[in-house]
Amino acid sequence: MKSINYELQEHALFSSQWSLLYCLKKNGSMTQKEMAEYLHVESPTITRTLLKLEESGYIKRQSGIDKRERVVSLTEKALACFPAVDESVRRHERNMLCRLSPGEKQQLARLLEKIDYSEERR
């Protein structure tokens, strides 16, 4: 499912990076722990991906009141390019799922969520 990297490459982004940006746009500033839980991903994955996003100026990290935590937020740069990237990702997803009817898409989402739930309790 990484064909989406094709749409992202013109913004010098990879799919894993985009999901973090999207997460921050949706939820506002978050700690890395919160991001990991929200995205169902381990913390080293978050660390790694944020490091690259920080290098390329898409996010910044400030230490919170709890000095262990690092609060992550989007930079101006990220906010500026967000709509364009978002649009091209959505276009790609529409294209990807174009052989499914709206009903089928809903079915699929439901089934995958059921499986994901099983996965969590183990």
Partner DNA sequence: AATAATTAATTACCTAAGTAACTAATCGGA
Partner DNA sequence: TCCGATTAGTTACTTAGGTAATTAATTATT
Give the binding site for a copy of itself (CB under 8 A): 1, 3, 95-100, 104, 107-108, 111-112, 114-115, 117-119, 122
2 in contact with DNA (CB under 7 A): yes
How near is the Cβ of 92 to a copy of itself at its closest, in Å?
10
23: nearest Cα among 52, 57, 49: 49
Q: How many Cβ atoms are within 10 Å of 20's Cβ, its own excluded?
A: 26
Beta sheet of 70-74, edge-to-edge order: 30-31, 70-74, 59-63
Query: Quick check: 40 binds DNA (CB under 7 A)?
Result: yes
Which residues form the interface with DNA (CB under 7 A)?
A: 2, 5, 14-17, 19, 31-33, 36, 40-52, 61, 65-70
